[in-house]
Structure 1
Amino acid sequence: MRVWDPGRITRLSKLSVYARLVRVEHTLFSLPFATIGLLVARATNPVIYALSYLALFGLRAAAMSFNNVADADIDALNPRTSKRPVVTGIVSTREALAITLLAIMLYFAAAYSICIPALLYATPLLLLALSYPYAKRVHPLPHLHLGLVLGMSVFGGWVAGMCSTSCTGANLSLSNAPWLIVFGVALWVAGFDVIYSTMDYEFDKRIGLGSIPALLGPERALKIAVMLECLAASLWTLGALLYSGIFAAITSLAAGTVAVGASLLALKSTDNIPKAFNMNLAVGFIALPGFVLDMVA
Structure 2
Amino acid sequence: MLKTVNHLLALIRFSHTLFALPFALMSAVMAWWLRGVLSFVDPVLYHDSYIMFGSVRIPVPSGLGNVMFHFPQPEGYSSPTVADRLSAFADAIRWQEVLGILLCMVFARSAAMAFNRLVDRKIDAGNPRTAGRHIPAGILSVTQVTTFTIVCATGFVASTLLFLPNKLPLYLSVPVLLFLCGYSLTKRFTSLAHFWLGASLAMSPIAAWIAIRGEAVMQSPLDLLPAVVLGGAVLAWVSGFDILYACQDFEFDRQAKLHSVPVRLGVPGALRLAAGCHAATVVLLAILPVVYPPLGALYYVGVAAVAGLLVYEHWLVRPDDLDRVNLAFFHVNAVISIGLLVVTCLDLLVV
**Is the structural similarity TM-score above 0.5?**
yes
Residue 119 of structure 1 and its aligned partner are, at CA, apart by 1.0
Answer yes or no: is the 8 Å Cα contact 1:39–1:161 preserved in 2: no
Q: Tell me the amino acid that sits aligned with residue 16 of structure 1.
A: N
Residue 98 of structure 1 and its aligned partner are, at CA, apart by 0.6
Match for residue 189 of structure 1?
238
Is 1:153 aligned to residue 204 of structure 2? yes
Is 1:40 aligned to residue 40 of structure 2? no
Answer yes or no: is the 8 Å Cα contact 1:17–1:91 preserved in 2: yes
Alpha-carbon displacement from aligned partner over 1:33-57 (angstroms, at most 9, x marks no partner): 1101111212622221111110111
Q: Tell me the amino acid that sits aligned with residue 302 of structure 2.
A: T
Residue 137 of structure 1 and its aligned partner are, at CA, apart by 0.6
Match for residue 116 of structure 2?
67
Q: Matches of 1:236 and 1:62 in 2, distance apart?
A: 29
Alpha-carbon displacement from aligned partner over 1:75-116 (angstroms, at most 9, x marks no partner): 111110101111112111111111111111111111122130
SS in 2 for 1:257: helix
Q: Matches of 2:119 and 2:310 in 1, distance apart?
A: 29
Distance 1:89 1:283, change over 3 A: same
Deviates more, 1:49-58 or 1:17-26: 17-26
Q: Matches of 1:176 and 1:264 in 2, distance apart?
A: 38
Distance 1:105 1:40, change over 3 A: same
Match for residue 264 of structure 2?
215
Alpha-carbon displacement from aligned partner over 1:218-277 (angstroms, at most 9, x marks no partner): 111112111111111111221255325113333233223312320232137322212211
SS in 2 for 1:41: helix
Match for residue 12 of structure 2?
22
The alignment yields a C-alpha RMSD, in angstroms, of 1.8
SS in 2 for 1:271: coil
Match of 1:53 among 102, 121, 126: 102
Residue 170 of structure 1 and its aligned partner are, at CA, apart by 5.2
Match of 1:138 among 189, 213, 222: 189
Match for residue 176 of structure 2?
125
Residue 171 of structure 1 and its aligned partner are, at CA, apart by 4.7
Which ranges of structure 2 fall in alignment gaps of 5 or more residues?
Answer: 34-92
Answer yes or no: is the 8 Å Cα contact 1:37–1:161 preserved in 2: no
Which ranges of structure 1 fall in alignment gaps of 5 or more residues?
Answer: 1-11, 164-168
Q: Tell me the amino acid that sits aligned with residue 15 of structure 2.
A: E
Percent identity (aligned):
29
Match for residue 342 of structure 2?
289
Q: Relative to total residues, which structure has the larger helix share, 1 or 2?
A: 1
Match of 2:167 among 111, 116, 122: 116
Aligned length: 281
**Rg larger in 1 or in 2?**
2
Match of 1:245 among 287, 295, 318: 295
Match for residue 258 of structure 1?
309
Q: What TM-score, normalized by structure 2, do the two folds share?
A: 0.76
Answer yes or no: is the 8 Å Cα contact 1:237–1:250 preserved in 2: no
Match for residue 37 of structure 2?
none
Q: Matches of 1:170 and 1:183 in 2, distance apart?
A: 21
Is 1:162 aligned to residue 213 of structure 2? yes
Match for residue 328 of structure 2?
276
